[in-house]
Every structure is written in C-alpha cells, then in structure tokens.
A = this chain, B = another copy of it.
Amino acid sequence: VEKVDLSTSPCSIARALDRVGTWWTMLILRDCFYGMTRFDEFQKSLNVSTNSLTTRLNALVEEGLLERRQYSERPPRYEYILTQRGRDFRPVLLTLFDWGNKHFSPEGPTMLLKDAETGKDVRLQLIDTNTGEPITDERHRYCAGPAATERVRERLERAHKALDAGKNSTDR
C-alpha cells in the first residue's frame, strides 16, 4: 500500500481521515463516547497492546480530539477526555453505526440509539437546518469554497456533469 500525505489534501474528507488516523483511533473515540476515559478501560475494550494504544492516544491528544488529565499523582495516572473537536466527531460515528446496523446486522442490531424522553428508537436523518429539508443527492451538492484550488474546481465541474447524467448509481 502506498503512503500518500493526506494531511495537505484539498479534500476535507481526506484531511479528516488523516487526522483520525486509523480504524483503531475511530474505535477509541467510540469508547470515549461510551464514557471510557482510562487507559486500562480502552485496553480491555480494544484488546490492543500497550504500545499501540499509547501511540494512538497520544496522536488523538496531539490532534486535539482528546485532552490528557492526571488523576493520580502516585502512581502517576492519566485519563483521556473528549474535547469539543472530539465531541464534534460524534455524527460520523452515529452515521457509521446506522449504516452498519442497516446493512451488516443479519441477526438484528446489538444496539439501538434511543430517545430517552420517548423511549423510541431513533430514526436518523441528515438535514439542512436552513430549510429543515433532508440532504439528497439531487438538491445538495459540493461547490467550490473560498480556498478551492484549480484542481478542485475541475473535479467539481466533472462531478456535476456526471451527476447530471445520472450515470454513477444503480437501482439495485
């Protein structure tokens, strides 16, 4: 597998993936949203070596998704707390969870997102708060932003043509 530097990509998806790092870091973030904060909790949950976990936790601290706090002086012990940037990642995990539940749970879901007030299962939808309308392929498209490079503009132009021709999806 080739190594490509995604951190300087003009694409926010590529850049986001670069900051998150690996699947493992995504699962650490998942555990943070489950309320875990301590090294041994993550290790027990993820069944991962001390070295790997240390590397990944440090990366998440460095990228500003987690904050490290000392909770014991002797012995020195730290916990890892979600920052605002880390908390803002929740929608990615929620949509990923929803997609996994929908397509890869033949035996039924092991977990369901519920509304604590009504007790009902949540039906997730992504909307535009300006209009309240759900996001659709037809109505909502990427356009060049203020920092768009020439390459990005070309790509978007090709993309809009292809999408207008409707040639990239199937009814299956």
* Chain A contact residues, majority secondary structure: mixed
27 A-B contacts, Cβ less than 8 Å apart? Answer: A12-B101, A13-B30, A15-B104, A33-B168, A34-B156, A35-B168, A36-B159, A45-B155, A67-B170, A67-B172, A81-B168, A81-B169, A86-B169, A87-B137, A90-B135, A91-B95, A94-B126, A94-B135, A110-B144, A111-B156, A112-B143, A113-B140, A120-B130, A124-B127, A125-B129, A126-B127, A127-B127
- Asked if A73 is at the interface (CB within 8 A of a chain B CB), the reply is no
- Asked if A103 is at the interface (CB within 8 A of a chain B CB), the reply is yes
CB neighbours of A155 from chain B (8 A): 34, 45
Sorting the interface of chain A by its residue count into under 10, 10 to 19, 20 to 34 or 35 or more gives 35 or more
- Asked if A84 is at the interface (CB within 8 A of a chain B CB), the reply is yes
Q: Which of A27, A90, A96, A140 has the most CB of B within 10 A?
A: A96
A127 and B125 form a contact (CB under 8 A):
yes
Cα–Cα distance between A123 and B135 once the two chains are bound (Å): 10
Residues of chain A in range 102-139 having any CB-CB distance to chain B below 8 Å: 102-105, 107-118, 120-131, 133, 135, 137-139
